[in-house]
Amino acid sequence: MLELLTTDFFLYALVAGLSLALVAGPLGSFIVWRQMSYFGDTLAHSALLGIAIGLVTGSNPQLSIIVSSAIFACLLALLDRKPAIATDALLGILAHSTLALGIVVLALTDSVRIDLEAYLFGALLTINPTDLMWVIVVAALVAATLGRLWNQLLSATVHMELAQIEGAQVQRLNLILMLLIALTIAVSMKIVGVLLITSLLIIPPAAARRLANTPEQMAVTASAIGALSVITGLLVAFYADVPVGPAIVVVATMIFFLLYFYPTRQK
């Protein structure tokens, strides 16, 4: 155990995973409260298209994922404001078409051999110092923004018009929240991959719900559950030789079910 902590790749993986888990708590809580999980899926899937575009244009892969996710977030925010068809249908179309398009484009650029599985399910143990830096910078930015706008975001989540009348700029807040989700997803692809990232955003808050009496308690508990899942998942993956991303998600799911079926205290 102690030896593991002195190995670089394990340490990088641990710090990256924990940084993500800490911001995923509060950010994921908003996704749960606002019922935006399908939105998160769509953004995550479209990130694969971002990678493909980055490869084709030969730009920095991390940067191209971030930029394309941000553009997708803005587009979705616009579509959400003036829905032409039901939002869930629209998200369903976009989520799968961008995923399919991303894989097709990736297959066409066969000059560059890329590890598709790593993008789909994560490759936390291959994380390098540059990746780690991106995760830490984005996590810090997301945490700072959420902290600053917490009360307003919460107020707009509870009742949009009431928040607006009390002076909150709800459209701007919605856009900011979507951008924060996009950024977080963009940097965490290597950690759990596009297919699993939403689960890491949603399962910890869902598990934390029954333990919390206030929104803040739920966010903090979700962060703790996320961190516990990351640590346990990493250890399981390392000793049982299974993929890390799925291991983390499995641990989080087990915590969710444990808490879900744990008898409620009587009031």
Instruction: Tell me the CA distances in angstroms from 114 to 55, 68, 119, one per residue in order.
Output: 10, 19, 9
Q: Of residues 2, 5, 165, 240, which one binds other proteins by CB under 8 A?
A: 165
Q: Which stretch binds other proteins (CB under 8 A): 19-27, 47-55, 204-212, 231-239?
A: 204-212
Q: Which stretch binds other proteins (CB under 8 A): 8-16, 70-78, 139-147, 205-213?
A: 205-213
**Residues 210-229 close enough to bind other proteins by CB under 8 A:** 212-215, 217-218
Query: What contacts 162, CB < 8 A, 6 or more positions away?
Result: 155
Residue 33 CA to residue 212 CA, distance in Å, equals 13
Query: Considering beta carbons, is residue 28 or 61 the nearer one to other proteins?
Result: 28
Q: How many CB atoms lie within 10 A of CB 161?
A: 9
Q: Residue 43 in contact with residue 80, Cβ under 8 Å? A: no
Residue 33, exposed/middle/buried by CB under 10 A (0-12, 13-18, 19+)? Answer: middle
Residue 7 CB, nearest approach to other proteins (Å): 39
Q: Is 199 in the site for other proteins (CB under 8 A)?
A: no
One-character DSSP codes across 147-192 = HHHHHHHHHHHH-HHHHHHTT--HHHHHHHHHHHHHHHHHHHHHHH
Binding mask 32-51 for other proteins (x = CB under 8 A): xx-x----------------
Q: Is 86 in the site for other proteins (CB under 8 A)?
A: no
Q: Is 155 in the site for other proteins (CB under 8 A)?
A: yes
Residue ranges in contact with other proteins by CB under 8 A = 32-33, 35, 151, 154-155, 157-159, 161-166, 206, 209, 212-215, 217-218
